[in-house]
C-alpha cells in the first residue's frame, strides 16, 4: 500500500511536470511560429551558365512600416516598424534560377558597412534598378538590403546580397496609397541543393536602438527571415 501510493504519487508528479513543460513549449512554439511561407512561382525552364534550369519568380516588398506585411492591416504590435512583405519566409525550388523582384518603398541613409552597396552573388553580379542594370550603388542612400546567407555544413553555400536604394523622403505618397512610388529592383540567382538559409537586412534601420540594429532588425518577422530551398 505504502509502496504503491509512493509509486503513484511519483508517477503523477513526473506526468504533471512533463505536462507543464509540454504546455509551456507548445505555447512558446505556437507564439513564435514563422508566418506562412511565400512559395516562388515556377514557370518553365531557362538556359543559364549552369545549363538548363527550372525558373522561379518571387515578388516581395520592403515598407517603411508594418501595415502591409505579415502583421495584418493594423500593423500588429509595432505598426511603425519597418518590414518586408507580404511575409518573411520564402520557399524556393532547388537547382533553379530564381528571379526576384523587390519593390522598395522606404527612405534611408548610409550603410555602416559599404560592403553591402555592391551587388553580390547574383547572375552576372548585377541587378536592375528601375530597369537600369547596375552592379554597385552609392552606400549613402540605401533603404534596405536583401542579404541571403547560409550556414556552411553539408548544404550548398548560397550568398546573395543586393542593396535597395532609398526613396528620397521628399517624395510624396502616390494617390490612393500610403506609400510613394517604389524603387523596383530585379535580380536572379541560382540555388543549389536543398538547404536552410536565412536572410536579413544589412542597412541599420532599427531607429533609436544601439547601432540601429535593435527593434525590427532583431525581431523575427520584420527585417529578417528564412529561405528554404528544396
Would you tell me which residues interact with another protein (CB under 8 A)?
6, 9-10, 13-14, 16-18, 20-21, 24-25, 28-29, 31-34, 80, 112-113, 115, 118, 120-121, 147, 149-154, 157, 159, 161, 196, 198, 200, 202, 204, 206, 208-211, 213-215, 217-220, 224
HSE (side-chain half, CA atoms, 13 Å) at 151:
9
The torsion of the CA quartet 93, 119, 216, 23, rounded to 10 degrees, works out to: 30
Q: Which is nearer to another protein, 184 or 214 (CB)?
A: 214
CB of 124 to another protein, least distance (A): 14
Smallest distance from another protein to CB 82, Å: 14
Q: Are strands 83-85 and 51-63 parallel, antiparallel or unpaired?
A: antiparallel
Interior/surface letters 179-201, b for 16+ CB within 10 angstroms, e for the rest: bbebbebbbbbbbeeebebebbb
Q: Shortest approach of another protein to residue 19 CB, angstroms?
A: 11
Whichever of 164 and 182 has its CB closer to another protein, that residue is 164
Q: Which is nearer to another protein, 63 or 203 (CB)?
A: 203
Q: Quick one: which of 185, 40, 37 has its CA closest to 106?
A: 185
Closer to another protein by CB, 25 or 173: give it.
Answer: 25
Contact between 162 and 185 (Cβ < 8 Å):
yes
Amino acid at each position: 500500500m505504502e509502496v504503491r501510493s509512493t509509486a503513484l504519487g511519483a508517477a503523477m508528479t513526473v506526468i504533471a511536470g512533463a505536462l507543464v513543460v509540454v504546455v509551456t513549449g507548445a505555447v512558446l512554439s505556437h507564439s513564435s511560429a514563422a508566418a506562412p511561407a511565400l512559395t516562388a512561382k515556377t514557370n518553365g525552364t531557362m538556359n543559364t551558365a549552369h545549363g538548363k534550369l527550372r525558373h522561379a519568380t518571387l515578388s516581395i516588398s520592403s515598407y517603411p512600416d508594418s501595415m502591409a506585411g505579415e502583421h495584418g492591416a493594423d500593423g500588429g504590435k509595432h505598426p511603425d516598424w519597418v518590414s518586408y512583405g507580404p511575409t518573411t519566409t520564402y520557399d524556393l525550388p532547388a537547382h533553379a534560377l530564381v528571379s526576384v523582384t523587390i519593390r522598395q518603398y522606404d527612405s534611408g541613409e548610409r550603410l555602416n558597412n559599404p560592403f553591402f552597396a555592391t551587388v553580390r552573388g547574383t547572375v552576372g553580379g548585377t541587378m536592375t534598378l528601375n530597369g537600369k542594370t547596375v552592379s554597385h550603388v552609392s552606400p549613402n542612400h540605401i533603404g534596405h538590403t536583401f542579404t541571403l546567407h547560409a550556414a556552411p555544413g553539408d548544404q550548398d553555400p548560397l550568398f546573395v546580397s543586393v542593396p535597395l536604394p532609398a526613396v528620397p523622403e521628399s517624395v510624396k505618397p502616390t494617390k490612393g496609397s500610403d506609400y510613394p512610388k517604389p524603387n523596383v529592383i530585379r535580380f536572379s540567382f541560382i540555388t543549389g541543393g536543398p538547404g536552410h538559409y536565412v536572410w536579413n537586412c544589412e542597412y541599420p534601420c532599427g531607429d533609436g536602438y544601439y547601432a540601429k540594429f535593435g527593434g525590427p532588425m532583431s525581431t523575427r518577422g520584420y527585417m529578417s527571415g528564412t529561405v528554404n530551398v528544396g
